[in-house]
Amino acid sequence: MSTGLIAARDFCFWYGEKQALHDISITVPARAITALIGPSGCGKSTFLRSINRLNELLPGTRRKGELTLDGDDIYGLTTDVVALRQRIGMVFQRWNPFPKSIYDNVSFGPRINGERNATALDEIVERSLRRAALWDEVRDRLHESALALSGGQQQRLCIARALANDPEVLLLDEPASALDPIATQKIEELLFELRGELTVIIVTHNLQQAARVSDFTAFFYLGKLVEFDATERLFTSPSEARTEEYVTGRFG
């Protein structure tokens, strides 16, 4: 049964000669929200993008170790990368809707995957927009350009587009860092709605956001995983001195 369980064992990653990740071993709980925190350049986004193999699109990269989804090797020779990215959705720091209608943005993935039935596509679009807490705002504008939406709406549209493929895992790389506080709150409320439905992994520089939205938190520093624990425990009684220094603002 697919649950969206991500696990790494002694996972390393290099950009050319520069090693960005050192022996990362972690089991990310399924159907919960895990935050990746740490200062800039610590490896958290590299780890996130390794999960759906986006990093390997860059020239000169290499990796070592194991990374699995529900026990299957993400980098296995027989792994279908297109199918993998259907199972693992991705939302970036800067919203990137296609220059198409709202409807066409959300239906793009299912259409690429072979869905041609208009009624089925209508249902997928509505369901995905509802899950992204956007339906009520755009239901009368589905065939208008997605680029006419506000930044916060565009980001939720990108989440709806990712959800349209029914992924087991949703990766978010600083999804609210360019948004105003009201739009940020909507994204956080959306994450609460998704909790328990799928595995969510979010990279964030905002420690308050990590504490608010996540069930578990992983602290990265200099390409290494320093500590991983339930969020409340990591923020209130961390095991490592370096973690305590970071979450209390003494560096970072």
pLDDT at res. 60: 94
Residue 162, token pair as written in the block: 């990712």
Residue 124 near residue 168 (C-beta atoms within 8 A): no
pLDDT at res. 176: 85
CA dihedral 199, 203, 208, 211 (to 10 degrees): 30
- Which amino acid is it at 191? L
Residue 234 near residue 194 (C-beta atoms within 8 A): no
Is the overall model pTM greater than 0.85, yes or no?
yes
- Mean pLDDT score across all residues of the chain: 93
Mean pLDDT score, 30-48: 95
Q: What's the N-to-C CA distance of the chain in angstroms?
A: 40
> How do residues 124-142 score in pLDDT, each as one tens digit?
999 999 999 899 999 999 9
Sequence spans of domains, the chain: 6-93+169-247
Residue 103 near residue 97 (C-beta atoms within 8 A): no
Which SS3 state, helix, strand or coil, does residue 221 take? strand
State which CATH number among 3.30.1330.50, 1.10.357.10, 3.10.20.600, 3.40.50.300 fits the domain covering 6-93+169-247.
3.40.50.300
Is the pLDDT reported for residue 2 higher than 90? no
Q: CA–CA separation, 195 vs 176, rounded Å?
A: 17
Q: Give the helix/strand (H/E) hosting 217.
A: strand 216-221
The pLDDT > 90 percentage for the chain reads 79
pLDDT at res. 1: 62
The pLDDT > 70 percentage for the chain reads 99
pLDDT at res. 252: 64
pLDDT at res. 239: 96
pLDDT at res. 179: 83
Place of tokens 């603002």: 249
pLDDT at res. 192: 86
Residue 120, token pair as written in the block: 């089925």
Mean pLDDT score, 97-121: 94
Is the pLDDT reported for residue 96 higher than 70? yes
Residue 120 near residue 107 (C-beta atoms within 8 A): no
Mean pLDDT score, 152-170: 93
pLDDT at res. 31: 94
